[in-house]
Chains A and B, each alone.
Chain A
Amino acid sequence: MVPGIVAFTGKFFPHSFTLLRNVADIMDFFEPDYFIELLFSGLTKGAIYALIALGYTMVYGIIGLINFAHGEIYMIGAFTALIVSTVLSIYGFPLLAIFILAAVAAVVWASAYGYTIERLAYRPLRNAPRLSPLISAIGMSIFLQNYVLLAQTSDFQPFPALVPDFAFMEPVAHIVGSTDLVILVVSVIVMILLTVMIKFTRTGKAMRATAQDKKMALLVGINVDNVISITFITGSALAAIGGLLIASHVGQINFYIGFIAGIKAFTAAVLGGIGSIPGAVLGSFILGLTESFATGYVSSDYEDVFAFSLLVLILIFRPAGLLGKSTIEKV
């Protein structure tokens, strides 16, 4: 047994030191280019997470459901964009038209899926015990993954680059790609639009009222079912935009991309305080940056481990997330 122990410990320990790759890599800390590159990749990641996380947080805020099928909506958005853009490019449309039409199609169909899912799988469970809609959501997620797998393919599909390399980005291209820029700009615009909608429009107000007190919302004449549908549609549209952007950034998609992205985005939403919209955005950027810097400076194998460890750490110190309200749960 003794040799066993020696072999065991011998295998066990040296490894932990190789986590920090080597001394030369540590010098990278001081290289500004590398730092900025990581910064931007973190921001891009954060923006994408934010687009997905907003859907989670809005749905959670309004019906208190972790919508596990939300990641699948994002994946369906990406697939729709892939199909539409390939068809259009075969028919010889210009790049800009393809980009816009693919985005529109992704948004339309993802919203349609979001709406349908709510009608079929969640609305009948409005008054059911708390865990039943969650199981329904998990079932829906499994169903949609396999639906896309069967209707399309299980292989990775190359995604066309919808964003051209802008000439004005040339000098910094080795640090920040054009796609990163588009992702950041588009997602910031989308988030501003969303904020405006929630703060100032009638629908936005109805959403906030419904989220705070459903019974009272009914009593002031809000059609709560419609508001919930609109929430799903909005969240799905955001996720579809995210799906389109990340797919053209990464360059390939398959039926499974929704799962991990969904879990990460949900993590981000919780990090910021679930139900809080600014919280979701903040959480997403923190998560994106953490992942980017941790993989850049420490180890790329453990990207997700960093994400989840960050979540655990933050929740230990702020049990309701960064911007969440710490209320006592009433059952």
Chain B
Amino acid sequence: MLPLKDIRNGLMVAGWFVFLTFPLMVIKVNPVEKTIVWRWPNMLYVAAGSFIAYLYVKLAQKNKKAAILVACWTAYLALPLIRYFMYQDISILIWDTTTSIYAAVGAFHMILTLCLFHKHHILRKILSGIWLLFIGTPVVMLLAQAAGKILLPKIPAALHFLTPFIITIEHIQFWNWIRILWVALACYLLYSSLQTYLASKRNIMPDHLTNEPKIRWSQYLYKRPVYLPLLTFCSTFFLLFPHLFSTYQVNIMISALMYVVLGLGLNIVVGVAGLLDLGYVAFYAVGAYSYALLNMHFDLGFWVVLPIGGILGAFFGILLGIPVLRLRGDYLAIVTLGFGEIIRLVLENWNDFSQGPSGISNIDRPPLPGVDLSLEGSIVYMYYLTIVMVIFTIFVVNRLQDSRIGRAWFALREDEIACQAMGIDKMKTKLTAFALGATWAGMVGVLFAAKTTFVNPASFTFLESAIILCIVVLGGMGSIVGVIISALVLILMPEYLRAFSDYRMLVFGAVLVIMMVFKPRGLISSVRRTYTINDETL
């Protein structure tokens, strides 16, 4: 199936990577004790890995569908192996529920593979239906589980015969890995059904014969029948989240949601106004430390400091913005980076002011008037606060983009000179974007300090800025939905990769590169709103 040329090139690539990684992967020295360890197996792994990766990329270039299928199959087949090697778990070999589900997945998979290359349309639709059922089931079960958890204490004992059904779901541990499978398959299904959908909508003419730009799947998100149910589902999910998952999960979700807000804030600066800010975390730090310090010295509460944090953020934004916003693109980038580092280094070294690297602890959590919250309760409270913050941010950002100033930002991003010629005050417009972005960072900073009850400079490194920037770019620069999705993906991914703790940042970096190489315009390219001017009013 694969041409010989690809195999030969693959071998050459493998050889190159063996050479490339030779000193670092194979040799390990101990300069003190003067010993060398030669790790030859690593060489084999590198060779095999790069060879397979090369062939896979070649395959993907030729046939996208086949490549996705191969990925699904690999995930499917590799799971028991990974399970075995990581946990010494052989449960897959014993015939039980887990195994039967696993087998069912395999069978479906097989059918799909066979049918995929079959051009029969109806067959494919039926298959899609089956898949939808198959994937829908766990979602329904999940909701049932939640309902059961909440309702269980309230239902009369007579109805408890229902509970085994609900509770069994809780203790089956195969969820954890089967879910991964579901995610992979859901992705595949979404992809193929959207393909079918698009194909049915589009004219028969292949798209290279029309002059219209290709329809992007993201545009379907803006269609009513698609986004309404999706929105309902998502909002229910997020509202019920603390009741569905453990405190640990809720904590993770809170920080993911904070990054959503940070992403949306930076999106104003980078995505909308086109100003490359690499030191966004500085304003975040300003917010966090303003709550920490004001709380420590003056006992100011969360609700008082929240606006103060925002204002301080904006103040620092303007302070930095006035001198540096004249700089062009990449100069601005490095100056903001420098500013971010200055703030962090000052916090780290000025012990009397910020207590240095050890940070400030015992910051008050946000109080709920009249209620004494337990630890768990306060986390849930925090969760809802963050949700409110997210909604507020989305609302404001959305309104801003359609406003006069929002259009000025877009215009400025596209062409500065033309804008000035049309009478847009460049400096003021940029400064507004910069300050507004900083305001959000300041407010999330306060939220962050309140959530962790502890701040230290290590939370505000360049890596944070980089991650927030990645969220914006990966989301597709200027798209709100894109930013939300990519924030959730980028923040939750490393958390759930904790099982591979050592490898998670490695994978994170690789994912960034791969995403950019294969989707350079981000997940969702922003759809520009068009304004139609009524001829009669002119």
Contacts and interface: CB of A to CB of B under 8 A. Distances in A.
A302 B349 contact: yes
Interface in B293-323: 297-299, 323
A316 to B, nearest CB: 5
Contacts of B270: 131
A47 B32 CA distance: 29
A105 B23 CA distance: 9
Nearest to B521: A129
Nearest to B518: A124
A12 B352 contact: yes
A132 B506 contact: no
A295 interface: no
Contacts of A160: 31
B528 to A, nearest CB: 15
A4 B462 CA distance: 33
B114 interface: no
A112 B20 contact: yes
B337 A263 contact: yes
A61 B272 CA distance: 26
A84 interface: yes
Interface in A199-222: none
Interface string B271-282: 000001000000
Interface stretch (B153-161, B246-254, B326-334): B326-334
B521 A132 contact: yes
Contacts of A5: 297-298
Interface stretch (A134-142, A164-172, A226-234, A238-246): A134-142
Given A121-B513, A131-B477, A143-B510, A138 B470 contact: yes
B417 interface: yes
Interface stretch (A23-31, A144-152, A180-188): A144-152
Interface stretch (B121-129, B167-175, B338-346): B338-346
A329 B416 contact: yes
Interface in A59-81: 60, 64, 66, 76, 79-80
B382 interface: no
A174 interface: no
A116 B24 CA distance: 15
Interface stretch (A33-41, A86-94, A189-197): A86-94
A295 to B, nearest CB: 12
Contacts of A11: 352-353
A106 B479 CA distance: 44
Given A109-B20, A131-B276, A135-B469, A158 B331 contact: no
Contacts of A302: 345-346, 349
A14 B520 CA distance: 52
Contact of B342 (A1, A82, A157, A308): A308
B352 A15 contact: yes
Contacts of A274: 330-331
Contacts of B379: none
Given A90-B36, A132-B520, A329-B416, A316 B324 contact: yes
A11 B339 CA distance: 25
Interface string A311-331: 110011001110000001101
Given A89-B34, A135-B473, A304-B345, A319 B327 contact: yes
B536 interface: no
Nearest to A7: B297
Contacts of B473: 131-132, 134-135
Contact of A79 (B24, B324, B515): B24
B25 interface: yes
B229 interface: no
Contact of B333 (A66, A147, A153, A157): A66
Contacts of B341: 263, 304-305, 308
A60 B516 CA distance: 19
Given A315-B327, A329-B328, A146 B509 contact: yes
B414 interface: yes
A308 B276 CA distance: 17
A310 to B, nearest CB: 9
**Interface SS of B by simple majority:** helix
A329 B327 CA distance: 10
Nearest to A302: B349
B20 A305 contact: no
B470 A135 contact: yes
B505 interface: yes
B338 to A, nearest CB: 3
Contacts of B29: 82-83, 86-87, 90
A328 B345 CA distance: 33
Contact of B516 (A4, A109, A139): A139
A329 B349 CA distance: 38
B23 to A, nearest CB: 5
Interface residues of B, number: 72
Given A125-B520, A136-B517, A331-B414, A143 B509 contact: yes
A170 to B, nearest CB: 27
A91 B466 CA distance: 43
Contacts of A328: 328, 416-417
Given A86-B36, A139-B513, A331-B415, A15 B323 contact: no
Contacts of A42: none
Contacts of A133: 516
A4 B513 contact: no
A270 B332 CA distance: 10
A312 B339 contact: yes
B373 interface: no
Interface string B454-482: 00000000110010011001100100000
A248 B21 CA distance: 23
Contacts of B19: 112
A317 to B, nearest CB: 10
A312 B338 contact: yes
Given A4-B298, A90-B34, A124-B517, A266 B506 contact: no
B7 interface: no
A1 B462 CA distance: 36
Nearest to A112: B20
B339 A152 contact: no
A267 interface: yes
B338 A311 contact: yes
B23 A109 contact: yes
Interface string B490-529: 0000000000001101101111110111001110000000
A309 B508 contact: no
Contact of A138 (B323, B328, B346, B466): B466
B407 interface: no
B101 interface: no
Given A89-B34, A316-B324, A83 B27 contact: yes
Contacts of A308: 338-339, 341-342
Contact of A151 (B25, B331, B414): B25
Interface centre among B31, B34, B335 (most CB of A within 10 A): B31
A266 B334 CA distance: 8
Contacts of A89: 34
Which 8 A-B residue pairs are closest in the complex by CB-CB distance?
A: A139-B512, A143-B509, A142-B509, A308-B338, A128-B520, A146-B506, A86-B29, A136-B516
25 contacts: A12-B353, A86-B30, A86-B36, A89-B34, A131-B276, A133-B516, A134-B473, A135-B516, A139-B508, A140-B509, A142-B509, A143-B509, A145-B505, A146-B503, A151-B21, A158-B32, A274-B331, A304-B342, A304-B345, A308-B338, A312-B323, A316-B324, A319-B326, A319-B327, A328-B417
